[in-house]
């Protein structure tokens, strides 16, 4: 008998997790081995349970789905992440793929084929919901932000200092300062507050 695809469900709403579990219980080749309600719990359970596929909500308390995905994939190259989101905008899709997700599907799709999406991700395919926008590069006025610059912009928008960002990304504070200057130059922005507004408007951060 073929080995079942092990799945970890990550969503902060218990009813949503229960609904997904019921959907997957009808799939003979898929087995839900755990559930997490926030990003930090997802990281812990991923390391403990070693699921093949993680169905990850994009917007999570304590640690969002993007950050949780990055941390999980740093711990394990074997795990695959299927991102679920309410956002069809291409910016969210691109950020999820940059974080390492192998799929992006909308939670509110009436014809959500979760089992099929999990199988395709487990088979090595890249799965994108047909209703989402194309994940175009994030462009400023004079340049295109690199994935590292976008990551640093997100952290700036969350109120982190250059020193805190440097520690988290294993960079020097001077390197972070250079990235910050490049981001401002690329976007034609001169104040940190304007960077925060830009990040929020472009869906790069999910602030309470």
Task: Give the CATH number of the domain where residue 98 resides.
Answer: 3.40.50.2300
Nearest to 69 by CA among 130, 151, 161: 151
Distance, in Å, from the CA atom of 125 to the CA atom of 128, rounded to the nearest integer, reads: 10
Terminal-to-terminal C-alpha distance of the chain: 47
Same domain, 47 and 110: yes
**83 and 127 in contact (C-beta within 8 Å)?**
no
Domain for residue 141, yes or no? no
**148 and 179 in contact (C-beta within 8 Å)?**
yes
Same domain, 10 and 78: yes
Instruction: Reduce the secondary structure of 84-101 to three states and give it as a string.
Output: EECCCCHHHHHHHHHHCC
Q: What is the pLDDT of residues 6-41, one digit of tens each?
A: 999 999 999 999 999 998 998 999 999 999 999 999
Element (H, E) at 66: helix 65-75
Dihedral angle sign, alpha carbons of residues 180, 185, 186, 190 = positive
Same domain, 48 and 97: yes
* Last residue of one domain, picked from the residues 128, 161, 176: 128
Task: Enter the tokens of residue 28.
Answer: 């003979």
Same domain, 18 and 112: yes
Q: What is the pLDDT of residues 97-108, one digit of tens each?
A: 888 899 999 887
Domain for residue 74, yes or no? yes
**11 and 17 in contact (C-beta within 8 Å)?**
yes
Domain for residue 137, yes or no? no
Same domain, 72 and 103: yes
Q: What is the pLDDT of residues 153-168, one digit of tens each?
A: 888 988 899 999 999 8
Tell me the residue range of the domain where 38 lies: 5-128
Nearest to 119 by CA among 106, 103, 134, 107: 103
Looking at the structure of the chain, the number of domains it has is: 2
Same domain, 121 and 152: no
Q: What is the pLDDT of residues 32-80, one digit of tens each?
A: 999 999 999 999 999 999 999 999 999 888 888 999 999 999 988 889 9
pLDDT at 169: 87
Same domain, 85 and 163: no
* Last residue of one domain, picked from the residues 128, 159, 183: 128
Nearest to 6 by CA among 64, 48, 60, 61: 48
């Amino acid at each position: 008998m073929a080995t079942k695809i092990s799945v970890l469900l990550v969503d902060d709403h218990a009813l949503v997790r229960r609904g997904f579990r019921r959907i997957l219980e009808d799939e003979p080749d898929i087995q839900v081995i755990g559930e997490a309600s926030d990003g930090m719990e997802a990281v812990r359970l991923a390391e403990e349970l070693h699921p093949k596929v993680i169905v990850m909500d994009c917007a999570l308390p304590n640690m969002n789905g993007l950050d949780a995905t990055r941390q999980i994939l740093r711990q394990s190259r074997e795990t695959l992440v299927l991102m679920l989101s309410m956002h069809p905008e291409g910016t969210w899709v691109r950020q999820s793929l940059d974080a390492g997700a192998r799929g992006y599907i909308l939670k509110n799709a009436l014809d959500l084929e979760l089992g099929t999406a999990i199988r395709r991700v487990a088979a090595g395919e890249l799965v994108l919901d047909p209703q989402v926008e194309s994940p175009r590069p994030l462009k400023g006025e004079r340049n295109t932000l690199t994935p590292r610059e976008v990551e640093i912009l997100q952290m700036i928008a969350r109120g982190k200092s250059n020193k805190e960002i440097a520690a988290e990304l294993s960079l020097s504070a001077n390197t972070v300062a250079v990235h910050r200057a490049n981001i401002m130059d690329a976007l034609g922005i001169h104040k940190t507050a304007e960077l925060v507004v830009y990040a929020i408007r472009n869906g790069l951060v999910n602030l309470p």
